[in-house]
Homo-oligomer: A and B are copies of this chain.
Amino acid sequence: MDSLQKAISDISPLSAESMKMFCSAWKNWQVPKNYFLLKENTVSDYIYFIRKGIVRIYYFKNEKEVTEWIALDEQFFLSITSFFQRKPSHLIIQTIEPSDVYGIYHNTLMALADQYHDVERLLRKMVTLSLIFSQERMDRIQFESAQHRYEKLLQTTPEIIRRVPLTYIASFLGITLETLSRIRSHK
């Protein structure tokens, strides 16, 4: 529970009581490789935190898989649209490695956010951080070459390249597997 608690505190401090209530609301699962945390057309009930392992979040667009996000190392992740709007998800969340995952149930979280002002604030800050990531990512995808995007990923999260199959990395970078392969062989 320790690393989750730290991740929370890093985003926004909570009072002792809120922290106690909030932390104890998370469930923990040990899930194998290729396990589905969220299946297509299901309403997503959890915000997750990955303590160890890797998951990818993807969807199908014209029969092809598009990787929207890859989470590892003490990161939070969720299907934003489905979780907050309570709609069936077009996103799929699947582990890439055996993983140690925490999750907080939608209704539980919302009840806590209603009850504790500081939990609501924490939630707001979490969403704000996601938004900042999302904008940065969009900027990169729109205006930087595939090569540059790959190099950036290599620089910021080399872990991903070591632990995730290239097919997924390619689609995370918004390019085809072949293009990625060519970029990699250029030196």
Contact = CB atoms under 8 A, between A and B. Distances in A.
A130 B131 contact: yes
A139 B66 CA distance: 9
A174 B143 CA distance: 8
Interface stretch (A19-27, A30-38, A113-121, A161-169): A113-121
Secondary structure type dominating chain A contacts:
helix
So how many copies of this chain end up in the complex?
Answer: 2
Interface size bracket, A side: 20 to 34
A77 B134 CA distance: 16
B61 A132 contact: no
Contacts of A142: 66, 141, 174
Which among A62, A114, A138 has the greatest number of chain B C-beta atoms within 10 A? Answer: A138
A37 B35 CA distance: 48
Given A84-B132, A120-B120, A124-B127, 16 more contacts: A61-B139, A62-B143, A66-B139, A80-B128, A80-B132, A80-B135, A81-B135, A85-B132, A113-B121, A124-B124, A127-B127, A127-B131, A131-B134, A134-B138, A138-B141, A141-B142
